[in-house]
Chain A
């Protein structure tokens, strides 16, 4: 790496820290002076339950895109402890094989106050990454449950990763994140039950209404075989190409605005409730609510 590249990396790392730590007031005061983006990056969200292999899969997808000379940024979120507010950020350990590539930047972030698989100020952090001219940004969510699909709003393509024998999970998820992905991956497919899980997902998807010209979600199996990841990479590219011609960008931007405001309000409400005198909370809920709305 050249000296300038090193300095750029440090600057990027620091800007991400600042963006991640920004308070609600900070975000509001800087909201419209956002980082400039010359060329928007492709944003790929990777989500799924804990232990499904999200980080490892990102590393392999990133490797494939790095080989084509593309620049790749990874933002990997791990959960904040509700007890200590601390965290262990262990995603990058799975990405070691590619960590030497100067065209790759990996950043681990704690979820902090966010409970939707994302992190505080995720929008600001993505904007920082994007301003550093990455071709691809991978966003790895916290290991999620059935209702955590905020990632949908923030990225272009959503990949949901599950493991074989997730039959029950698939069932449980069919009304939440199960409806939100563009590409479904049954990872660790060398384990027994992979085919069954693929069939389960396909049967859930088959119940969905099919719009003519709409994207038909792909269901793939991946294992440690390299060919699997190439197929997944292709499915992502196919979706991105489809999206370019078919997605209503204005509606997508409005969804993002809705999400950003909602998250800021959530945090502000959290702050006000945390600061409230305990006795205030003994009042009827309608009074607490009215008081809170008044102070917003």
Chain B
């Protein structure tokens, strides 16, 4: 399986500026055939949703290391809905405590990828989710 032909937006919402993880994911996705757009740091949920629409992506990956994952996910999903783009899958990754996972899934996260996960597993799960 491969991510060839898939368009993926990697986005850093909110105020945290730690984007090594986002960049590693961006490179790994490219190496598995995806076309990846990276937003850079400190983007608003509105900006992320608009970029997802304009770039016609198959999926958005939010990278959050500040603890505000729930707020950022919900705000981004709300914006996507407002733009009639609720069909674009939104994944979330970063430092996310296990206790928070259920709430993220309930809010609409298509998948959760934490910092400690193996990169190959992350890609393999994405390949299945986007197949």
Answer yes or no: do A and B interact.
Answer: yes
- A residues lining the B interface (CB < 8 Å): 3, 6-7, 9-10, 13-14, 16-17, 21, 80-81, 83-90, 92-93, 96, 99-100, 105-108, 110
The answer to whether A87 touches B51 (Cβ under 8 A) is no
The answer to whether B54 touches A93 (Cβ under 8 A) is no
Find chain B residues with CB under 8 A from A81 CB.
30-31
**Chain A binding surface SS class:** mixed
Cα-based distance from A108 to B50 in the complex (angstroms) = 14
17 contacts between A and B (CB under 8 A): A6-B53, A7-B84, A10-B84, A16-B56, A80-B35, A86-B4, A86-B29, A87-B30, A88-B26, A88-B30, A89-B36, A89-B37, A90-B38, A99-B51, A106-B54, A107-B54, A108-B55
The answer to whether A93 touches B39 (Cβ under 8 A) is yes
Given contacts A93-B40, A107-B55, contact A86 B85 (CB under 8 A): no
- Give how many B residues have a beta carbon under 8 Å from the other chain's beta carbons: 28
Given contacts A6-B84, A7-B84, A108-B37, contact A86 B53 (CB under 8 A): no
The answer to whether A88 touches B53 (Cβ under 8 A) is no
The answer to whether A9 touches B31 (Cβ under 8 A) is no
Q: How far is the CB of B103 from chain A (nearest CB, A)?
A: 29
Find chain B residues with CB under 8 A from A80 CB.
35
Cα-based distance from A86 to B36 in the complex (angstroms) = 8
Chain B, residues 2-19, CB within 8 Å of chain A (1/0): the string is: 011101000000000000
Find chain B residues with CB under 8 A from A92 CB.
37, 51, 55
Find chain B residues with CB under 8 A from A93 CB.
38-40
Find chain B residues with CB under 8 A from A16 CB.
56
Q: In this assembly, does B34 line the interface, its C-beta being within 8 Å of a C-beta of chain A?
A: yes
Cα-based distance from A89 to B30 in the complex (angstroms) = 10
The answer to whether B35 touches A86 (Cβ under 8 A) is yes
Q: How far is the CB of B35 from chain A (nearest CB, A)?
A: 5
Q: Which 10 A-B pairs have the closest CB atoms?
A: A86-B30, A13-B56, A86-B33, A17-B56, A89-B37, A87-B35, A93-B40, A84-B31, A110-B35, A85-B33
Find chain B residues with CB under 8 A from A88 CB.
26-27, 30, 36-38
Cα-based distance from A96 to B50 in the complex (angstroms) = 12
Cα-based distance from A81 to B24 in the complex (angstroms) = 16
Find chain B residues with CB under 8 A from A3 CB.
84
List residues of B (32-87) whose CB comes within 8 Å of A's CBs: 32-40, 47, 50-51, 53-56, 83-85
Q: How far is the CB of A269 from chain B (nearest CB, A)?
A: 21
Interface-central residue, A7, A86, A96, by most chain B CB under 10 Å:
A86
Q: How far is the CB of B25 from chain A (nearest CB, A)?
A: 11
In the complex formed, the residue of B with least CB distance to A106 is B54
Cα-based distance from A105 to B5 in the complex (angstroms) = 22
The answer to whether B83 touches A6 (Cβ under 8 A) is yes
Find chain A residues with CB under 8 A from B84 CB.
3, 6-7, 10
The answer to whether A84 touches B38 (Cβ under 8 A) is no
Contact of A9 among B4, B32, B38, B54 (CB under 8 A): B54
The answer to whether A96 touches B36 (Cβ under 8 A) is no
Cα-based distance from A259 to B44 in the complex (angstroms) = 41
The answer to whether A84 touches B54 (Cβ under 8 A) is no
Cα-based distance from A290 to B47 in the complex (angstroms) = 53
Find chain B residues with CB under 8 A from A105 CB.
54
Cα-based distance from A106 to B38 in the complex (angstroms) = 14
Cα-based distance from A51 to B54 in the complex (angstroms) = 24
Cα-based distance from A93 to B51 in the complex (angstroms) = 11
In the complex formed, the residue of A with least CB distance to B58 is A17
Contact of B33 among A10, A84, A89 (CB under 8 A): A84
Find chain A residues with CB under 8 A from B27 CB.
88
List residues of B (70-119) whose CB comes within 8 Å of A's CBs: 83-85
